[in-house]
């Protein structure tokens, strides 16, 4: 059996999505650098948003809330007729993103909770969790209806800025795709979504505005035995043309 494949791109997330064909992907899992993080940077409640002794990474550009309509419109367009979208965000961004996603056509099911197992920084009750908003296009049954809406996995310590554990992404990929379906992440960062996809036999297409993110992700996906190709999205489109997913 051939190894799963991946394709990486460098640039603005929305511009990249606009270049992808309609209904080419079966899942999007992504973590935009949301606007509310600017508040934490301004008041100094996290050292991971700047270069400091506690961080060896430069922070990346914030994706403004004003661009959510075009982002959700493009994500809805590239997803196949029966598919899922998972969006990592904080509690403030959740209230902004949900109605915009629904306006684009998504059905909102619920927020999942990533329990990071350790408290982080903050003033009003120190943060230990993050939301993962669960959206659906059409109807698609989860692969295991016994999975909890709380996903427990320790936060990454001294990793890439806002890096997510592969174990968290693996739950989402495993629940919402089948083998050799295409998983997309337009804000891929350190590539945890891609690693989870490749390890589980799914193809992956990712994008980031950071050169460092692309090189790090490429290295991790090759180590996971992924094969880099420049036509993953095109061949995924042909493979799944006319294929329907299971009803809810």
Note if the pTM is more than 0.85: yes
Our measurement of the distance from residue 80's CA atom to the centroid of its chain's CA atoms, rounded to an integer in Å, reads 17
Q: For residues 244 and 212, which has the higher predicted lDDT (pLDDT)?
A: 212
Please give the pLDDT value at position 57.
41
Provide mean pLDDT across the span 6-25.
Answer: 98
Closest CA to 208 of 14, 48, 4, 47: 14
Give the separation between CA 150 and CA 132, rounded to whole angstroms: 10
pLDDT category of residue 247 using cuts at 50, 70 and 90: very low
- Domain boundaries of the chain, sorted by first residue: 5-240
Please give the pLDDT value at position 121.
74
pLDDT category of residue 245 using cuts at 50, 70 and 90: very low
Q: Count Cβ atoms below 10 Å from residue 12 Cβ, excluding itself.
A: 14
Please give the pLDDT value at position 77.
98
Mean of the per-residue pLDDT values for the chain? 89
What are the φ/ψ torsions at residue 239 (nearest 5 degrees)?
Answer: -65, -35
Contact between 184 and 205 (Cβ < 8 Å): yes
Indicate the angle between helix axes 192-199 and 166-176, nearest 10 degrees: 50
Which residue in this structure is represented by tokens 């299971």? Answer: 246
Provide mean pLDDT across the span 168-178.
Answer: 98
Give the separation between CA 146 and CA 205, rounded to whole angstroms: 28
pLDDT category of residue 60 using cuts at 50, 70 and 90: low
Strands 203-208 and 150-152: unpaired
pLDDT in tens, 97-118: 999 999 999 999 999 999 999 8
Provide mean pLDDT across the span 149-164.
Answer: 89
pLDDT category of residue 49 using cuts at 50, 70 and 90: very low
The CATH architecture one would assign to domain 5-240 is 3-Layer(aba) Sandwich (3.40)
Which residue(s) pair with 208 in the sheet?
A: 10
Please give the pLDDT value at position 54.
37
Our measurement of the distance from residue 73's CA atom to the centroid of its chain's CA atoms, rounded to an integer in Å, reads 16
pLDDT category of residue 36 using cuts at 50, 70 and 90: confident
Please give the pLDDT value at position 225.
97
User: Is the confidence at residue 149, as pLDDT, over 90?
Assistant: yes
pLDDT category of residue 23 using cuts at 50, 70 and 90: very high
Closest CA to 113 of 98, 130, 90, 126: 130
Give the separation between CA 236 and CA 33, rounded to whole angstroms: 28
């Amino acid at each position: 059996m051939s190894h799963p494949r991946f394709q990486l791109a460098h640039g603005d997330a929305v511009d990249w999505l606009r270049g992808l064909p309609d209904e080419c992907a079966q899942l999007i899992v992504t973590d935009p650098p949301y606007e509310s993080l600017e508040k934490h940077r301004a008041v100094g409640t996290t050292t991971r948003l700047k270069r400091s002794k506690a961080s060896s990474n430069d922070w990346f550009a914030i994706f403004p809330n004003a661009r959510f309509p075009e982002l959700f419109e493009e994500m809805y367009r590239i997803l196949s007729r029966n598919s899922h979208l998972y969006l990592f965000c904080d509690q403030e961004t959740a209230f902004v993103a949900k109605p915009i996603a629904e306006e684009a056509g998504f059905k909102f099911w619920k927020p999942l909770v990533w329990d990071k197992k350790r408290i982080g920084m903050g003033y009003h009750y120190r943060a230990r969790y993050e939301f993962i908003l669960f959206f659906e296009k059409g109807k698609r049954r989860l692969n295991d209806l016994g999975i909890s809406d709380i996903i427990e996995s320790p936060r990454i310590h001294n990793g890439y800025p806002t890096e997510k554990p592969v174990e968290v992404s693996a739950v989402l990929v495993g629940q919402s795709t089948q083998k050799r379906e295409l998983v997309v992440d337009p804000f891929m960062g350190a590539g945890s979504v891609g690693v989870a996809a490749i390890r589980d036999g799914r193809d992956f297409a990712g994008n980031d505005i950071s050169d460092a993110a692309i090189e790090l992700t490429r290295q991790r996906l090759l180590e996971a035995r992924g094969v880099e190709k420049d036509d993953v999205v095109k061949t995924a489109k042909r493979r799944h043309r006319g294929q329907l997913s299971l009803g809810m």
